[in-house]
Structures are given as structure tokens and as C-alpha cells.
Amino acid sequence: MSILPASWLRYEALAGGWRNAVPDDATARGEHRFHAGAFLWVSADLLVQIVLINRAGFVLSQAVLFALSSVYWDSSCAAGTFRWR
């Protein structure tokens, strides 16, 4: 049963590799640069949520998590194109 996938993989390797490969450059793939401030803010939000989930309950801790993690997103952006302030 694994002979067919192995044969296909061997054919692709001998034929020159995968076509339409994903580029190695992050900007060519459309990725954004790493924002350390955003990473630290969301990490702190998750720690607050972990502390609150036993004390305030699931719903309230999730509401706080949502409120804290959406505070610094630019509200003028269209959905899916968030920018860190």
C-alpha cells in the first residue's frame, strides 16, 4: 500500500522537486514582522485568564481575555488585516 506514495515521491524528486514551492522569504509569503510588544501583551492576557478562570468563572475570564487582547488592535482596519499600534 505504501509503494504508490513512495513511487510518486521518487518521481517528484527525480523530476526536479516540487513545483510552485512556497518561497523561503517571509515577505514574499505575505507574513508580517514579529511584534514583541504584541506577543508579550497577549501572553500576559493568557496568564490573567488562567488566574481568573477559577476565581471568576469561564465566561467572565473569557470576556476579560477578549477585552484585554483587543484593546491595542487598530479599529480602523478591515477584518483580517489587523495592525499592531
Tell me if 72 sits within 8 A of 85, measured CB to CB: yes
Residue extents of the structural domains in the chain: 3-70
What distance, in Å, lies between the first and last C-alpha atoms of the chain?
A: 53
pLDDT in tens for each of the 85 residues of the chain? 689 999 988 888 888 777 777 777 877 777 777 778 878 888 888 898 899 999 999 999 988 888 887 776 655 554 445 555 5
**CB-based burial of residue 42 (10 Å sphere; 0-12 exposed, 13-18 middle, 19+ buried)?**
middle
